[in-house]
Chains A and B, each alone.
Chain A
Amino acid sequence: MAAIYYFLPKVLGKPIHSYYLSVLGFWSLAIFYNWAGVHHLIGGPVPVWVQTAGIAASFMMVVPVIVTGLNQHLTLVGAASALKYSPTLRFIVFGGVNYTLTSLAGSLMAMRSWAEITHFTHYTVAHAHHGMYAFFTMVMFGSIYYILPRIILKEWPSAKLISLHFWATAGGITLYVVVMSIAGIQQGLAMNALPVGADGHAGSPIPFLTIVANTIQWLELRTVAGVVIAIGHIAFAINFTWMLVKPRQPGTSEPTLFRHAPDLEVAP
């Protein structure tokens, strides 16, 4: 989160939209987030008041999430064309958008009725990867693209590899989250269903192995998504190694951008 707040204004060359919103976001996050983890124990053998406190805190998380999302969006407004040029910005904005999405989904998952379906299923796995990869990892990639050239005084060798890295990881994790969410919701609904049996009574749960069999197609798509993400990582590794071994160019250099950016050019 701090990386987004740092790199967004830095890359765009304009201040963050509102200092006060960011402070509000920080303190509401600091107070509510610590309590929110308990929503993973809903329905479990822990005191009900603790679960309820966790649910309330998870819902209060909407405040910092909306505040942060608005603040970052309003900073980007009017300068969104920079997304065409800057690798750092593209990763960071992708991460920021997914922070908002995964956090709102997390608040939803804290509802008892929704947790009854999604808890213990692949939906939770999708949510965990949404937060840890689509938000955190992507922001870290963006930060590396910004920091590394300034530390080792070399530019990234290939804009094409950065582009491949971005599209493979962004596409891969999106596919991953979508298929695992669908798998989890189907799995949860099937687990809780008590279809009407031959005797006319609602009551026989769907056999566990039938549910397992239905998830396999989604798990195969998950593997596809994982392979696509791995392709992105290989592109990054090649670019990174190439950058380390290539000779340092004398004199001034210009940053590796996706394409030539006229409005970012410094007048001679």
Chain B
Amino acid sequence: MNRAPLIFLGIFFALAFSWTGIVLTNHLSYAKLQPVFDETEGKAFPQKLPGNAERGKEVYRDLGCVYCHTQQVRQPGYGTDIERGWGERGSVARDYIHEKRVYLGSMRTGPDLRNVGARFVGDAGRDWHIQHFYDPQITSKGSIMPPFRFLFETRSIVGEASPRAVQAKLPAQYQPPAGHEIVLTQRGEDLISYLLALKDPALYPEEAARVYVPKPESAEKKTESAHPEAAK
């Protein structure tokens, strides 16, 4: 090992080179990204998640949703994310600036969830998620997602029935025995709050000036081809 100093320097250079390129410079450029204030709406975008959705994000992490679901919409013309209704535009770095942990994901065993909050909205969306978590076959026949029934609790009714009971939303074969009710646990509530809140705003003006907008002729093709009923 008479060349130890040379080998050390070489390895140090190789590591420093790639670290500068893919860690340091990127952190510097991400740090410059700021929320964009929209004067017509009087809000800055992207918005922070509300508190219960932020807790739900921890449940999302805890349950390993990221192993089967991505949170990044591909750019128009690259894949068919836009045609599938997974987003109105491709994801950009600014969308993620409020997130300490980013669940980009690398596998789509299930669909992309970056804008799932735009697909399932309000009380109807909440009901959809309740059915889907209780048994994905209720809403998505043939899905290979496991049931997340541990997000629910089946318990006997003591005194009055709970206002939070959800069995009325489930089909007949899932009904609990008489005198029992199914309630959503706090983790389930939080996770659904997160999924309902998960959507990116319209394109920021700064990015609109860059490469993310489809070229005119392909934009025309895209509008023609957008079939909202395929948005699953």
A residues lining the B interface (CB < 8 Å): 27, 30-31, 34-35, 37-38, 40-41, 43-48, 50, 53-54, 112, 116, 119-121, 124-125, 191-194, 197, 201-205, 207-209, 212-213, 216, 219
Structural contact, A30 and B80, CB atoms closer than 8 A: no
Q: CB-defined interface of B220-232 with A at 8 Å, one 1/0 digit per residue?
A: 0000111100101
A218 to B40, CA, bound (A): 51
Q: Which residue of B lies closest to A41 (CB)?
A: B104
A-facing residues in B26-82 (Cβ within 8 Å): 26, 29, 70, 72, 74-75, 78-80
CB < 8 Å neighbour of B111 from A30, A50, A208? A208
For A47, the chain B residues whose CB sits under 8 A away are: 26, 29, 93
A-facing residues in B110-152 (Cβ within 8 Å): 110-111, 140-144
**Could you tell me the distance in whole angstroms from the C-beta of A44 to the nearest C-beta in chain B?**
5
User: Given the known A-B contacts A43-B79, A208-B232, are A124 and B26 also in contact in the complex, defined by CB atoms under 8 Å?
Assistant: no
**Pairs A–B under 8 Å by Cβ, sample size 16:** A31-B14, A43-B78, A43-B79, A44-B72, A45-B72, A45-B91, A45-B92, A46-B26, A47-B26, A120-B106, A191-B80, A201-B225, A202-B225, A207-B232, A208-B110, A209-B141
**Could you tell me the distance in whole angstroms from the C-beta of A252 to the nearest C-beta in chain B?**
34
A124 to B109, CA, bound (A): 12
Structural contact, A191 and B79, CB atoms closer than 8 A: yes
For A219, the chain B residues whose CB sits under 8 A away are: 144
- Chain A, interface SS category: helix
Q: How many residues of B contact A (CB 8 A)?
A: 46
Point out which of A40, A43, A205 has the most chain B C-beta atoms below 10 A from its C-beta: A205
**Could you tell me the distance in whole angstroms from the C-beta of B32 to the nearest C-beta in chain A?**
12
B residues lining the A interface (CB < 8 Å): 10-11, 14-15, 17-19, 21-22, 26, 29, 70, 72, 74-75, 78-80, 83-84, 90-93, 95-96, 104-111, 140-144, 211, 224-227, 230, 232
Structural contact, B22 and A38, CB atoms closer than 8 A: yes
A219 to B144, CA, bound (A): 11
Structural contact, B106 and A50, CB atoms closer than 8 A: no
**Could you tell me the distance in whole angstroms from the C-beta of A212 to the nearest C-beta in chain B?**
6
Structural contact, B144 and A212, CB atoms closer than 8 A: yes
For B96, the chain A residues whose CB sits under 8 A away are: 45
A124 to B105, CA, bound (A): 12
**Could you tell me the distance in whole angstroms from the C-beta of B213 to the nearest C-beta in chain A?**
14
Structural contact, A208 and B84, CB atoms closer than 8 A: yes
A194 to B224, CA, bound (A): 12
Closest 5 CB pairs of A and B: A203-B225, A34-B18, A120-B108, A30-B14, A45-B91
CB < 8 Å neighbour of A212 from B21, B72, B92, B143? B143
